[in-house]
Structure 1
Amino acid sequence: MFFATLKLLRESPLRILWGGHESVLIFFILSGYVLSLTYLKGKQQKYPQYIIKRLCRLYIPFVVAVIIAIILNKMFYTGSGSFASLSGWINNHWAEFQWNSFINHFLFIGNYDTHAFNGPIWSLVHEMRISIVFPLLMYIVMRYGLRLNVTIAFVLSFIGFGLSKLTGSSNIDFFITLHYASLFIFGALLAKYTDDVVQYYKTLANSARILLFVTSVLLLTYPYWLLPNLGIIHIRVINDWVSATGAIILISLALSDETFVRYLMSKPLLFLGKISYSFYLYHFIIILALLHALYGVIPVWTICVFSIMATFLVASVMYWLVELPGIKSGRLLTNSSKQKIPVSADAGSAKVG
Structure 2
Amino acid sequence: MFFVLSGFVLYKQIQTEWPGYLSFVFRRAIRLFPPCIVAVTASYLIYLFWAPAPAPNLSAWFNDTSWPAGITPDQYFQHLPLTGEDALLRPVWSLVYEWRVSLLIAAFILSPAVFSSLVFGAAIFLAKTSSWQTADYAWLLMTTFYASFFLAGIALSHFIEEVSAFLTDKPYLRYGLLALVIYYTDFRSQQSGLIGLVYVGLAAAGLIAVRISDRNVQRALEWRPLLSLGKISYSLYLWHMIVIGVLFRVLNGLPPLLIGALCMLCSVAIAAVMYRLTELPFVRLGRLYCAKCYQPNVAA
TM range (shorter): 0.7 to 0.9
1:129 corresponding residue in structure 2: 100
Contact in 1 for aligned 2:211/2:217 (Cα 8 Å)? yes
Q: Say whether residues 1:103 and 2:66 are aligned partners.
A: no
Q: Do the aligned partners of residues 242 and 215 (structure 1) sit closer, same or farther apart at CA in structure 2, a change above 3 Å counting? A: same
Q: Output aligned runs, 1:311-350, within 5 Å.
A: 311-334=267-290, 336=292
Say if 2:57 is the partner of 1:85: yes
Change (3 A) 1:164 1:139: farther
Matched, 1:140 2:106: no
2-side partners of 1:294 and 1:278: how far apart?
23
In the alignment, structure 1 residue 247 sits paired with structure 2 residue 204: yes
Q: How does 1:1-353 map to 2 (within 5 A)?
A: 26-41=1-16, 43-79=17-53, 82-93=54-65, 94-95=67-68, 96-108=70-82, 110-112=83-85, 114=86, 116-141=87-112, 144=113, 151-158=117-124, 160-161=126-127, 165-168=131-134, 173-204=139-170, 206-221=171-186, 225-226=188-189, 234-296=191-253, 298-334=254-290, 336=292
Which sections of structure 1, spanning at least 5 residues, go unmatched? 1-25, 229-233, 339-353
Amino acid at match of 2:35: P
Which moved further from structure 2: 324-333 or 99-108? Answer: 324-333
Tell me, yes or no, if the aligned pair for 2:167 and 2:173 is still in contact at 8 Å: no
Would you say the 8 A contact 2:33–2:80 is kept in 1? no
Once residues 98 and 216 of structure 2 are traced to their aligned partners in structure 1, the CA distance between those partners, rounded to angstroms, is 31
Asked whether the equivalents of residues 33 and 187 of structure 1 are also in contact (C-alpha less than 8 Å), the reply is yes
TM-score after normalising by structure 1: 0.75
- In the aligned structure 2, how far is the partner of 1:208 from the partner of 1:162? 29
Deviation at 1:101, TM superposition (A): 0.3
Aligned-pair distance for 1:216?
Answer: 1.8
SS for the counterpart of 1:197 is helix
Note closer, same or farther for the CA distance 1:255–1:139 as it changes in structure 2 (3 Å cut).
Answer: farther
Q: Deviation digits for residues 158-208 of structure 1, max 9, x if unmatched?
A: 4555786424289x944211110011111111111110100011221x333
Equivalent residues, number: 292
Cα deviation 1:291-345 (Å, max 9, x = unaligned):
233324x33333222211110110000111110011122234445499xxxxxxx
Q: Distance in 2 between matches of 1:308 and 1:337?
A: 40
Indicate conservation of the 8 Å contact 2:5/2:153, yes or no: yes
State the alpha-carbon separation in 1 of the partners of residues 57 and 154 from structure 2: 44
Q: Over aligned residues, Cα RMSD in angstroms? A: 2.6
Q: State the one-letter code of the partner of 1:84.
A: P
Tell me, in whole angstroms, the C-alpha distance in 2 between the residues paired with 1:305 and 1:294: 12
* 1:188 aligned partner, one-letter code: I
Whole-angstrom distance in 2 between the partners of 1:337 and 1:322: 24
Please give the per-residue CA displacement for 1:38-69, whole angstroms capped at 9, x wherever unaligned: 3334x322111111111111111111111111
Is the CA contact 1:40–1:192 (under 8 Å) kept in the aligned structure 2? no
Assess, with a 3 A threshold, how the Cα gap between structure 1 residues 151 and 52 changes in structure 2: closer, same or farther: closer
Q: Name the CA shift for 1:174/1:69 in 2 (closer, same or farther; >3 Å).
A: farther
Shift of 1:139: 3.4
Amino acid at match of 2:120: F
Please, which runs of 5 or more residues in structure 2 have no aligned partner? Answer: 295-300
Q: Tell me: CA distance 1:189–1:102, structure 2 relative to 1, closer, same or farther (3 Å).
A: same
Q: Counterpart of 1:349?
A: none
1:166 to 1:119, Cα distance in 2 relative to 1, 3 A: same
How many Å separate the matches in 1 of 2:52 and 2:235? 25
- Find the aligned partners of 1:175 and 1:163 in 2 and give their Cα distance: 12
Aligned residue for 1:263, secondary structure, equals helix
